[in-house]
Amino acid sequence: MVQHTNLRACQEGIIFEVIDQEIVVISLATGVYFSLKSPASLVFALLESGCPQHELVSRLELLFDTKLDAHSNEIESFVGSLVAESIMESCSSDQCGSFDLATIESLVVRPFQAPVIEKFDDMQDLFLLDPVHPIAQESARNAEDQISR
Residues binding other proteins (CB under 8 A): 11-13, 15-20, 22, 24, 26, 28-31, 33, 35, 123, 126-149
32/63 with CB nearer other proteins: 32
d(CA 33, CA 50): 23
Q: Return the SS3 of 25.
A: strand
β-pair type (118-120, 14-19): unpaired
Closest approach of other proteins to the CB of residue 113, in Å = 17
Closest approach of other proteins to the CB of residue 26, in Å = 6
3/35 with CB nearer other proteins: 35
CA angle at 82 for the pair 70 and 35, rounded to the nearest 5°: 95
Is the distance from CB of 97 to CB of 53 less than 8 angstroms?
Answer: no
Closest approach of other proteins to the CB of residue 130, in Å = 5
